Amino acid sequence: MGELTKLTIAGARDALRKGETSSAELTEACLSAIGEAGALNAFVHHTPEIARAQAEKADARIKAGDAPAMCGIPLGIKDLFCTRGVPSQAASRILEGFTPEYESTVTSKLFEAGSVMLGKLNMDEFAMGSSNETSVYGNAVNPWKGADGKSLTPGGSSGGSAAAVAADLCLAATGTDTGGSIRQPAAFTGTTGLKPTYGRCSRWGIVAFASSLDQAGPMTKTVRDAAIMLGAMAGHDPKDSTSADLAVPDFEAAITGDIRGQKIGIPREYRVDGMRDEVARLWDDGVAMLKDAGAEIVDISLPHTKYALPTYYVIAPAEASSNLARYDGVRYGHRAKLGQGDGITEMYEKTRAEGFGPEVQRRIMIGTYVLSAGFYDAYYNKARKVRTLIKRDFEQAFAAGIDAILTPATPTSAFGLGEMAEADPVQMYLNDVFTVTVNLAGLPGIAVPTGLDASGLPMGLQLIGKPWEEGALLNQAQVLETAAGFAAKPEKWW
């Protein structure tokens, strides 16, 4: 079989079960693709020994006929996931040298299912960013090139995951999404990214950013693959009290291709001022595809959409300032060299100034401010109330019979690396304008590539589903995928 790394999870699963290939072969093909792709800077810690050992075990299981769907599938793991004995730095200098003594629940589940870890993937520091430019490892690079060969961001924060999947360095990757960090990079790279319902996947062992918003999910080449991989990642975990004690359905079985009679909501507030024509056209095309498949298109209103980003930029930094207080130079990671007479306060202050990059420092301090005495009510409590209203908007839409909501995934296609360097931070935050509402409301959302822009770059649409209805959402997403027939791949230059 040629081009093993281009296989989907579903394709590889079937080939493995038929004995047409082995996990060892798939793994070697991926390792060699990774070896050639240094220019993408997607894989930042390589684990070939672990991969080969896992592949060998997977092949034995497949031979014995005891092979779950993810058995033998080579994956990339975002650096935010703690992996036992393997550096897990959240792309931060402050966790330099940290090798966890434990395994995150999601990676444990994937490994129990027989998956193979090829290495750890680049990301924005502590998942704070939309372009993978805040990483201590340097930028991850989009395999797609801009007009005149310009280097582009793969998006962020799961930029390494998106670049690796798009470039066929692995069959799929894990991502995490706090405000759009799975869906935006998926849209920028022509791949599929699913953020599950809050509580679907355990957060235990994933470096925390904003605990009420963070959720892990699959980043894959197809919608079917997202369904297969989510099945292996999801499930209740006593070690995460916010993980839902609900049975994990067969998500793949929910993909029937039939959405006749379903009501798809089109929220008018997402038609933002200055929306690019290309994005508006992509959205209209998506509407037509779902309509052709027999869905009923309904105009809806989500009136508090406009306030989602400001709400997010209170709540996420507030939770981050609290979560990141643990990086104090005492228990793990970096500790600053101290001067004569420096005490423990100087140790904290110097360690954190050296260990955190500028964007992380900025968010910790904003969070500290909005939680400080005198401002807690005006900012933090106010934001939590607006969050209630944002969630209520969605609840009312679903109560009125809407089955899913279709929106653009991002305001633009991938932009150039360094292009936003001079812009103020708020400009970068606007990347998440279509995705952040979903985290605030705890809903599942998926980005699916459906078209190319004028310069030949991929663009995606987002479908937002009802809580715990990832199966229905994946089915709707696959209808979109099939209708769009997106098959473009970046030309290999790396």
Partner 1 sequence: MSIDEGTAAKVAKLARIKVEPDELPALAAEFNNILGFIEQLGEVDVTGVEPMVSVTPMRLKRRQDGVTDGNMQERILANAPDAREGFFAVPKVVE
Instruction: Report the nearest approach of partner 1 to the CB of residue 167 (Å).
Output: 32
Instruction: Report the nearest approach of partner 1 to the CB of residue 333 (Å).
Output: 7
Q: Identify the residue among 43, 81, 144, 198 touching partner 1 (CB under 8 A).
A: 198
Instruction: Report the nearest approach of partner 1 to the CB of residue 352 (Å).
Output: 5
**Class of residue 248 by CB neighbours under 10 A (exposed 0-12, middle 13-18, buried 19+):** middle
Instruction: Report the nearest approach of partner 1 to the CB of residue 426 (Å).
Output: 5
Q: Which residues pair with 119 in a beta bridge?
A: 46, 76
Which of 158, 181, 202, 243 is catalytic? The answer is 181
Q: Does 467 bind partner 1 (CB under 8 A)?
A: yes
**Residue 416, C-beta contacts closer than 8 angstroms, at least 6 positions apart:** 146, 150, 151, 152, 153
**Taking CB under 8 A as the criterion, which residues in 44-103 touch partner 1?**
97-101
**Taking CB under 8 A as the criterion, which residues in 124-183 touch partner 1?**
none
Instruction: Report the nearest approach of partner 1 to the CB of residue 199 (Å).
Output: 5
Element (H, E) at 391: helix 382-399
**Taking CB under 8 A as the criterion, which residues in 371-400 touch partner 1?**
372, 379, 381-389, 391
Active site residue 104: no
The number of residues that bind partner 1 (CB under 8 A) is: 73
| CB closer to partner 1, 78 vs 352 | 352
What dihedral do alpha carbons 62, 10, 258, 247 form, nearest 10°? 50
How far apart are alpha carbons 422 and 199 in whole angstroms?
37
**Taking CB under 8 A as the criterion, which residues in 406-465 touch partner 1?**
424-426, 429, 440-442
**Taking CB under 8 A as the criterion, which residues in 268-307 touch partner 1?**
304, 306-307
Residues 317/364, Cβ–Cβ less than 8 Å: yes
| CB closer to partner 1, 260 vs 331 | 331
Q: Report the SS3 class of residue 290.
A: helix
| CB closer to partner 1, 151 vs 368 | 368
Q: Identify the residue among 361, 396, 412, 455 touching partner 1 (CB under 8 A).
A: 361
Active site residue 157: yes
Residues 271, 267, 182, 477, CA torsion sign:
negative
Q: Identify the residue among 6, 8, 369, 456 touching partner 1 (CB under 8 A).
A: 369
Instruction: Find, among 303, 302, 348, the residue nearest to 329 by Cα.
Output: 348
**Taking CB under 8 A as the criterion, which residues in 304-323 touch partner 1?**
304, 306-307, 309-311, 313-314, 321
Q: Which residues pair with 448 in a beta bridge?
A: 461
From 31-39, 127-135, 141-149, 192-200, give the range in contact with partner 1 by CB under 8 A. 192-200
Residue 157, preceding peptide bond in cis (omega within 30° of 0)? yes
Site string for partner 1, 320-339 (x = CB under 8 A): -x---x--xxxxxxxx--x-
Instruction: Report the nearest approach of partner 1 to the CB of residue 127 (Å).
Output: 18
Active site residue 413: no
Tokens of 311: 């709400």
Which of 130, 131, 135, 157 is catalytic? The answer is 157
Element (H, E) at 483: helix 470-484
Residues 186/460, Cβ–Cβ less than 8 Å: yes
Residue 108, preceding peptide bond in cis (omega within 30° of 0)? no
Residues 202, 208, 212, 213, CA torsion sign:
negative
Instruction: Report the nearest approach of partner 1 to the CB of residue 419 (Å).
Output: 19
Rounded to 5 degrees, what angle do the CA atoms 396, 402, 406 make? 105
Residues that are catalytic = 78, 157, 181
